[in-house]
Amino acid sequence: MIKIDLNFFATLSEYLPEKNDCYEVFEDLSVEKLITDLGVPLDTVKLIFINGKREKLSYQLKNGDRVGIFPPVGGG
């Protein structure tokens, strides 16, 4: 098991688990699997940032990764 710092923003924050700052996952788990395991509909995810860099759903998580998941955001 590895630990990641997990953050869901805006409307996705309701899916954020407890202890998200040291959330344990299996090594090399994909971001897509993490998202679906937490019950987040994939069509609600627009941006994924790992350690401040934009990544894809296929990214394999590593120990200490900082994960930020964002929904589509509109403005006016």
Class of CATH domain 2-70: alpha beta
pLDDT tens sequence across 13-42: 999 998 899 999 998 899 999 999 999 999
Sheet holding 53-54, edge to edge: 23-25, 2-8, 66-70, 47-50, 53-54
Q: What's the pTM?
A: 0.90
Q: Is the pLDDT of residue 50 over 70?
A: yes
SS3 75: coil
Q: Is the pLDDT of residue 45 over 80?
A: yes
Q: Considering only CA atoms, which of 8, 4, 5 is closest in space to residue 47?
A: 8
